[in-house]
Amino acid sequence: MRERNKEQKRERLQHAAFELFAARGFDNVTVDEVAEHAEVSKSTLFRYFETKEDLLLADSRAHRDALLAAVAARPVDEPVLLSLREALQSLARDYQADRRRAVVRSQIMSGSPALAARSVERQIAWEDGLAAAILPRLADRDDPETRAAVLAGAAMAAVRVATRRWLATDDDSQMIDHVLEALDVLAHELKDGD
């Protein structure tokens, strides 16, 4: 019961922040206003979120953890790019489930240098986590650390490109199609480079 109450409070804070940021812009909303809108104290807000930016980006960690779990669940003898492709499809499905929220989040982020900086930090954390997850699969290759870092960075770059394209469409396109297209380009170019 206690955990459920904590989760409900966390969701209420995120919802309040999202509403205010969407209406007025991230930089025009204070933490005090978010706390008041969520009917909690500022100190309570900071027990759940380390920074104001985390109010908007908090679910990023859950998505990253789900992606890493999906990579870990792939067969260890599977080619790394195939493992990444399969794992990233589950990530795309998660994002597709709430396209409207993703569009609004993107609009909020585009108007704030502070959010852009925090987003870059998160992207680096994603890449580092992904590199660590695929490193054991590359242990028998030359310089496995560099290979893992480059493949993780390239995969996440493909996802960023796919996400931007998906968010820019006005149709009912599926994020997974954009992700697969970007990963196909990556695989094709890597193959041609051999």
Three-state SS string over 139-165 comes to CCCCCHHHHHHHHHHHHHHHHHHHHHH
Q: What single letter denotes the amino acid at residue 166? A: W
* Percent above pLDDT 90 for the chain: 61
Same domain, 115 and 25: no
Residue scoring higher pLDDT (22 or 98): 22
Q: What single letter denotes the amino acid at residue 79? A: P
Contact 152, 81 (CB under 8 A): no
Rounded (10°) angle between helices 99-110 and 144-168: 100
Same domain, 74 and 166: yes
Domain that holds residue 19: 2-55
* 59-92 pLDDT per residue, tens: 888 889 999 999 999 999 999 999 999 999 988 9
pLDDT at residue number 138: 94
Same domain, 81 and 140: yes
pTM (predicted TM-score): 0.83
pLDDT at residue number 30: 96
pLDDT at residue number 24: 95
Of 55, 70, 97, the residue that ends a domain is 55
* 110-168 pLDDT per residue, tens: 888 888 888 888 899 999 999 999 999 999 999 999 999 999 999 999 999 999 999 98
Same domain, 107 and 149: yes
Same domain, 85 and 168: yes
Q: How many domains does one find in the chain?
A: 2
pLDDT at residue number 157: 94
Give the integer Cα–Cα distance in Å for 102 and 91.
13
Same domain, 75 and 48: no
Same domain, 124 and 98: yes
